[in-house]
Amino acid sequence: MRVRVLGCSGAIAQDCRTTSFLLDDDVLIDAGTGVGDLTLDEMVRIQHVLLTHAHLDHIACLPLMLDAVAARRLAAGAPPLQVHALPDTIQALKTHIFNDHIWPDFTRLPHADTPFMHFTPIAVGQVLHLGGKAIEPLPAVHTVPAVGYAAAAASGYWVFSGDTERNPAFWQRVNQLPVALLIIETAFSNREKDLARRSLHLSPSTLAEELSHINPQPHRPSYPIYITHTKPAETGLIMEEIARFDAPTQPHCPNHDIRWLSAGMVFEL
């Protein structure tokens, strides 16, 4: 499985794109502003979009992408784009985005029986089989109903936390999987830890607590951990604070392989 990082920033700025990952060429995880860097040919090949939650930075390009490729999908006789999300996320999109006021309702266009888009509700723990890939929604703890995802690959699971704060249920499931790579959010620095807690995001201090829940995998090296969703103005400070808590000289703290995620990275798993 090939994973291409289209966007992984917690906000926009020059060279900063919000969350979106392309799995192979047909499955999109979240539809943030990183989708805008795809060509029309690449957008047309996407058959499934899996959303973590309804916040704008994770869905901003979904309506725009549909508009960009609608005519080509219609001409090709393509099936509706399948958008998989929690029921609450689907309801939020229907109410606030695809409502014929903010954006056309593509679940009824060009015709109700042959729409450009179809919503499919998902549940935590359900395994989705899409384009030859097995993808499982994972629990997340956020200000709106949310999930992360784990996608099976030849070398192990690609795991994405989604937007979350402290999340014991997430680690309970992750520790059962042969993880190849973990992508986890850390949106704010420690100086903003109160804001992080109120908005149910991680800061480096809470990230350290969360990583302590990782159980070593027997006979496997520790997996790399990539930090995503950093606010552009705080990225440097966040990574400095992570480096300090994860220093090998810190007593009682296992050293992890922690790296910063950036748009344009590609993982072959």
Q: pLDDT above 70 covers what percent of the chain?
A: 96
pLDDT given for residue 247 in this prediction: 73
Beta carbons of 170 and 183 less than 8 angstroms apart? no
Q: What's the CA dihedral at 98, 104, 110, 116 to 10 degrees?
A: -40
Q: Quick one: pLDDT at residue 254?
A: 61
Q: Which domain holds residue 237?
A: 2-268
Which pLDDT belongs to residue 215? 87
Report pLDDT digits (tens) over 24-82.
999 999 999 999 999 999 999 999 999 999 999 999 999 999 999 999 998 888 999 99
Average pLDDT of the residues of the chain: 94
* Residue 218: predicted pLDDT: 66
Residue 252 pLDDT class (50, 70, 90 cuts): low
Tokens linked to 155: 């070398």
C-alpha torsion sign, points 11, 3, 269, 145: positive
d(CA 48, CA 85): 11
pLDDT the model gives residue 199: 97
Cis peptide upstream of residue 110 (ω within 30 degrees of 0): yes
Rounded Cα gap, residues 159 and 180, in angstroms: 8
pLDDT confidence bin for 203, thresholds 50/70/90: very high
Written as six digits, the tokens of 184 are 């986890």
**204-211 vs 235-245: helix crossing angle, rounded to 10:** 40
- Predicted pLDDT at 256: 85
Distances (CA, A) of 112 to 75, 100, 101, 116: 17, 14, 18, 9
User: Which band of pLDDT confidence, cut at 50, 70 and 90, is reported for residue 208?
Assistant: very high
The dihedral over CA atoms of 50, 8, 158, 174, expressed in degrees to the nearest 10, equals -90
Q: Tell me, what's the pLDDT at 222?
A: 83
Token output for 263: 């748009």
Spatial strand order of the sheet with 20-23 comes to 117-121, 81-85, 48-50, 27-29, 20-23, 2-7, 266-268
Q: What is the dihedral of CA 80, 84, 88, 90, to 10 degrees?
A: -20
Q: Give the C-alpha separation, 253 to 112, whole Å.
A: 56
> Is a pLDDT exceeding 90 seen at residue 250?
no
Task: Give the pLDDT band (50/70/90) at residue 153.
Answer: very high
Looking at this protein, which amino acid is placed at residue 199? Answer: S
Dump pLDDT digits (tens) for 81-97. 999 999 999 999 999 99
User: Domain total for the chain?
Assistant: 1
Sorted by sequence, the CB contacts under 8 Å of residue 77 that are 6+ apart come out as none
Chain Cα centroid distance, residue 120: 17
Question: Is the Cβ–Cβ distance between 178 and 155 less than 8 Å?
Answer: no
CATH number at residue 187: 3.60.15.10
Q: Which residue has the higher pLDDT, 256 or 172?
A: 172
Looking at residue 58, its pLDDT comes to 98
